Structure 1
Amino acid sequence: MADDKPRVGAPVGPLTLPMVGKDQSYVIGGRNDRWTMLFVYRGRHCPRCKRFLNKLNASLSDWTGHMNVVVASADPADKAAADQKEHGWAFDLCYGMTEEQMRGLGLYVSVPLSDAETENIFAEPGAFAIRPNGTLMLVDISNGPAARPDLEELLDGMIFNITNDRPVRGTA
């Protein structure tokens, strides 16, 4: 079986994604002044994503005290903007991930089950911690909507990693 998992310790991107409500793009990867936590969600059609992202939004100030937080999906601009407006999300929200970008992050990609779900392919959930030097520190990917990291535990672990400048694990 081929190993197409993201390589921790390796550079990420840079991936350039348009942002909801802003005339600029978010560049994920490359050098940055802070750590970045990227969460990828399935899109507007997913109620589990909404619950997860609402929890993230409720604790956003705890996260942004330590790192940048960006959330992205393959949804078009109108769907992502509708989600942000409906839920009042304050995190940077990006849209329009391409299949190449999804696969470059090692995400599982799904085809909609019907038009009622959505019209286009989409990424299954993922979470990526990126160091200021643009390298991948931590990755959590799922092949379906039910498996997500515990946000409180993840934040606690990330604070420990940042504070103690922990090395990348899982490279053997």
Structure 2
Amino acid sequence: MTTAKPHVGAPIEPTSFPSLSGDTISIGQPKDRWTMLFVYRGKHCPRCKRYLNKLNAVLPAWTEVMDVLVVSADTKEKAQADMDEFGWDFDLCYGMSEAQMRALGLYVSEPLSEAETTENFAEPGAFAIRPDGTLMLVDISNGPAARPDLEELLDGMIFNITNNRPVRGTA
């Protein structure tokens, strides 16, 4: 169960994730561009792979507009195995802690069996973060089947960025 609902319009809690590129990538701090953070369940989830493959296919359109960051609670080894298999072009981060999951208001699941995975993991989420580090848009799910359509989401984000739209749904 989530502990707090993220507050759109407010600064996102500064946090960092290790990346397979060897860098540490941070969110919640001022930067030059918008960031879209996608949280996925991990290596054990075939729906995640299909979604991330779709993201990778449209990634050039996304990166024209904003930085794209993908993270899970997986170990470096599991994340690397997925990267080796799929060859994604986005920044793939790993090691998301349960505290980080809860700070984003994500649903956290326990594995159904060791065949699934061995540690708690986050259910999917997408977070649009303004260059000033404030949260513009949140989409979270309590399971793998509900995720935003990538083309619609990008179209909406282009509209929001181009027109400097205010945060909606603050209450």
Shorter-chain TM range is over 0.9
Structure 2 residue 12 is the aligned partner of structure 1 residue 12: yes
Shift of 1:80: 0.4
Preserved CA contact (<8 Å) 2:21 2:91: no
Residue correspondence of structure 1 range 33-72 to structure 2 within 5 A: 33-72=32-71
1:9-33 C-alpha deviation (Å, 9 max, x unpaired)? 01112111000131x2000111010
* 1:90 matched residue in structure 2: 89
Relative distance call for 1:153 and 1:74 in structure 2 (3 A) is same
**Counterpart secondary structure, 1:100:** helix
Moved more, 4-13 or 45-54: 4-13
Percent identity at matched positions?
72
* 1:133 matched residue in structure 2: 132
List runs of 5+ in structure 1 lacking aligned partners: none
Preserved CA contact (<8 Å) 2:11 2:135: yes
* 2:77 matched residue in structure 1: 78
Preserved CA contact (<8 Å) 2:38 2:125: yes
TM-score, with length taken from structure 2: 0.97
Where has structure 1 moved over 3 Å in runs of 4 or more? none
Preserved CA contact (<8 Å) 1:21 1:81: no
2: CA distance between counterparts of 1:170 and 1:4?
Answer: 16
- How many residues end up aligned between the 2 structures? 170
Preserved CA contact (<8 Å) 2:20 2:76: yes
CA RMSD of aligned residues (A): 1.1
TM-score, with length taken from structure 1: 0.97
**Counterpart secondary structure, 1:59:** helix
1: CA distance between counterparts of 2:53 and 2:120?
Answer: 23
* 1:142 matched residue in structure 2: 141
1: CA distance between counterparts of 2:52 and 2:165?
Answer: 27
1: CA distance between counterparts of 2:157 and 2:68?
Answer: 12
